[in-house]
Amino acid sequence: MEEKAQPEAQVVFVLGGPGSGKGTQSAKLVEEFGVVHLSAGDLLRRERNTPGSEHGELISKYIKEGKIVPVEITVALLLTEMKKCVSEKKTSFLVDGFPRNEDNVRGWKEVVGSYAKVPFILFFSCSEEVMEKRLLSRKQGRTDDNVESIRKRFKTYQESSMPVIKEFEKNGLCREISCDRSVDEIYAEVRKYFL
C-alpha cells in the first residue's frame, strides 16, 4: 500500500479585522511557544521595499487601497519563508492575515496543499470603532494607517475576508476570541489553544 506523505508544517491562520491585534497576540505566542510568526502583510511590505522587485509597485498600490494582492504573489512569499524555516527544523507557524478571500484559499490549496496541516484558525473579533482607534494611534508609519485607507480595509474585510472565516467556522475549525479588551486578557484565552 502506498504511504501518504506527512505534512512538513503545522499552520494556524490568525485572522481578524485590521487592528484587531493579530500581530500583538502572535508576538506573545512566539515568546511563549516558540512558533514562527509569518505576517503576510509584513512579507508583502518587505517585498514592496525590495529594490528591483517586479511586484513592488503593484503591492504598494494594493496596500494603500486596502485591496487584496493577487494570491500567486502572497503564497509564493509565504511558502518560501516556510520552507526556509522547515529546513532549520522550525515547523510550527502562525500565518497572520492570510487567507483574506476565497481566491487566497484556492491559491493556498494549490501551492501549499498537503505540505501544511491547518488544525484550526484563530479569529480575533473586534468592533470597528476600537480597531480604528488602535490603527490611528499605531504610529508605525504604515501607508494604510489613515482614515481613508482604514475605511477601505474595513470594507474589504467585511466583503471578502468574513466569508472565508465563516467557512472555517462552518467546518468547526474557527476559535473565536473577543478582542475589545486588554492585551493580557485576550492572551490568557489565546494561549489555551496551544497548551
Ligand X SMILES: Nc1ncnc2c1ncn2[C@@H]1O[C@H](COP(=O)(O)OP(=O)(O)OP(=O)(O)O)[C@@H](O)[C@H]1O
Q: Where do contacts with ligand X occur on this chain (CB under 6 A)? A: 16, 18-24, 41, 97, 134, 138, 182-183, 186
Residue-level length of the chain = 195
**Cβ partners under 8 Å of residue 97, min gap 6:** 14, 15, 22, 39, 40, 41
Q: Of 116, 106, 114, which is closest to residue 36 (Cα–Cα)?
A: 116
SS3 36: strand
Does residue 23 touch Mg ion according to CB under 5 A? yes
Binding partner of residue 107 among ligand LLZGTKA7, Mg ion, ligand X, none, CB under 5 to 8 Å per kind? Answer: none
Q: Distance between terminal CA atoms of the chain?
A: 35
Of the pair 114, 136, the CB lying nearest Mg ion is at 136
Least Å from the CB of residue 60 to ligand LLZGTKA7: 10
Q: Residue 85 is placed in which grid cell?
A: 524555516
106 is in an annotated binding site: no
Closest residue to ligand LLZGTKA7, judged by C-beta, is: 41
Smallest gap from residue 39 Cβ to Mg ion (A):
5
Q: Which residues pair with 96 in a beta bridge?
A: 14, 39
Q: Are 21 and 31 in contact (CB under 8 A)?
A: no
Known binding residues are 19-24, 45, 67-69, 97-100, 104, 138, 142, 153, 181
Binding site for ligand LLZGTKA7 (CB under 6 A): 18, 39-41, 44, 62-63, 66-69, 74, 97-98, 100, 144, 153
